[in-house]
Amino acid sequence: MSRAAKKNRKVVIDLSEDELDGPVIESSSEDDFKGDVSSSESEGESESLSSSVVSSEVEPSPVKKGKKKVTKNTPMKKSRKSETKEEHKEDKKSAQNKRKQSMENVKEAKKMKTEDSGERKSTSGKNENTQRAEELPFAVEYAKTSRATCKHCGSKIEKDELKLCTRFPSPFFDGYQEQGFHFVCFFNRAAKVKLFPHNFKGFDWIKEEDQERIKKKIDDVIESAGGMEEILKEYIPTVSIGKRSAKCAECKESLEKDEIRISCKSQNFHVKCYKDSNKRFFKGSSKEIYSYNSMSDEHKKLLDELFPKAEGSVKKEELDENEVKLKEQAKMMNELKAAFEKNLSRDEVKELLEANGHGSDKRTHERNIKCLIELSLFGVPENCKKCGNIVEFSESQVKFICRGKDEDQVRCDFKTRAPVVTRLHVPDNMKDENEYLNKVFIPRKRTRILPKDTMGAE
């Protein structure tokens, strides 16, 4: 619509009622408005020209050129060859047969593996259980640092303070772990039935005054409990017929329902396992076992064969005599230790051990000195007759054991209390270089005295 038309339209709309009553105004023709239209068009052209001039003055913004996407031509998929129905069926059958054969082979391989692993577990489990059962339950040493904390009171154990430990089988590795205590705190936690002076690993290596201190404390604790006989009453076992399946605490195998078993301190055992276990503190006859009279004749006969009579305890005179010999032996060992620390270097200690076939890079210097003392006083044991590896004295097992392992990392079970030994050999070049080895040191071949009052750990 042109501007003139818009003006006329406004005039018509703005007329009052008086003006509407007057003469009617005739509508103008299209020709009358041509001039106005042309003028309006000219005005529009002028406006467009002015806008074009303004736009020409403003510089256009730079356009960022984007990288063109390059489309790679993907190769056409290979068309599969057409096959007949019969050939397709034959291929299916052959594929199914191959799958069946592969599945059978996998099953056979799994069976072979399980059988091999079962045999290994059974053999290794027996060795581990027997060795662990013979470990000493306690240990004693002087604290090397002040970082350790007492497991009873939670306070620190100062450096060079006497530290007493309980030992238990580790759930993480094949060996034992230790928990340290203060001297007083230890006797609040330790099992009284195991409190013997030589049940402590490292007892021979502490000072004589500390040895006497431990002995006196043990006597006081046992006396306050009413004596060892009163303590052992808690460990009298009970025989019964199992109402449900359970696990043997010694061999770790299952105890079937309606099978005869022995129970002690909330632990169940096979009858034969309990007889050979170091967890057994009962030394009486079969008739002293609880519920013996309620068993059948067949079961009574089995118990009578395993526990025919009460085991006699070691006489006090024998213990006293053994104690005197052990004290003299410990004194000699500590004197030799002080001499080695003063006159021998670390390398010389290692060289002496290697010259006698007992060298090891895994041992600490302290353990090397202890090993050299054993060889110097009691001789070098001959190698194991079973596997040919070295035989050494074990403090925790209180006997000479073989350190060898087979291909499956199962330890050799060779053990003895009286091995065949030879004197320690000192090379001539070491004698020339070290005056102590040349003039003072004399290797010996004594019989090692073993304690008679030791009991195994759990």
Give pLDDT tens digits along the chain (458 positions).
Answer: 566 555 555 444 444 444 444 454 444 444 444 444 444 444 444 444 344 434 444 444 454 444 444 444 444 444 444 556 677 777 777 887 877 777 777 777 766 655 554 444 444 344 333 334 468 899 999 999 999 999 999 999 999 999 999 998 888 887 889 999 999 999 998 989 889 888 999 999 999 999 999 999 999 999 999 988 888 888 999 999 999 999 998 888 999 999 999 999 889 999 999 988 878 888 888 899 999 999 999 999 999 999 988 877 777 788 888 899 999 999 999 999 999 999 999 999 999 999 999 988 788 999 999 999 999 999 999 999 888 899 999 998 889 999 888 777 788 888 898 999 999 999 999 999 999 999 999 999 999 999 887 654 43
Answer yes or no: same fold for 138-224 and 235-306: yes
Global pTM reads 0.65
Give me the residue spans of the domains in the chain.
Answer: 138-224, 235-306, 316-382+420-440
User: Given the DSSP bridges, would you call strands 200-201 and 138-142 parallel, antiparallel or unpaired?
Assistant: parallel
pLDDT number for residue 111? 64
pLDDT recorded at residue 341: 93
Q: How far is CA 215 from CA 94, 187, 212, 457, in A?
A: 81, 12, 5, 19
Q: What is the pLDDT of residue 411?
A: 83
Domain 235-306 in CATH 3.30.1740.10? The answer is yes
Q: What is the SS3 assignment for the chain?
A: CCHHHHHHHHHHHHCCHHHHCCCCCCCCCCHHHHHHHHHHHHHHHHHHHHHHHHHHHCCCCCCCCCCCCCCCCCCCCCCCCCCCHHHHHHHHHHHHHHHHHHHHHHHHHHHHHHHHHHHHHHHHHHHHHHHHHCCCCEEEEECCCCCCECCCCCCECCCCCEEEEEEEECCCCCCEEEEEECHHHHHHHCCHHHCCHHHEECHHHCCHHHHHHHHHHHHHHHHHCCCHHHHHHHHCCEEEECCCCEECCCCCCEECCCCEEEEECCEEECHHHHHHCCCCCCCCCHHHCECCCCCCHHHHHHHHHHCCCCCCCCCHHHHHHHHHHHHHHHHHHHHHHHHHHHHCCHHHHHHHHHHCCCCCCCCCHHHHHHHHHHHHHHCEECCCCCCCCCEEEECCCCEEEECCECCCCCECCCEECCCCEECCCCCHHHHHHCHHHHHHCCCCCCCCCCCCCCCCCC
The pLDDT of residue 202 is 92
The pLDDT of residue 429:
93
Superfamily of domain 138-224: Zinc finger, PARP-type (3.30.1740.10)
- Cα–Cα distance, 140 to 142 (Å, whole number): 7
Measured torsion, CA atoms of residues 414, 420, 423, 425, in degrees rounded to the nearest 10: -40
* pLDDT of the residue at 329: 94
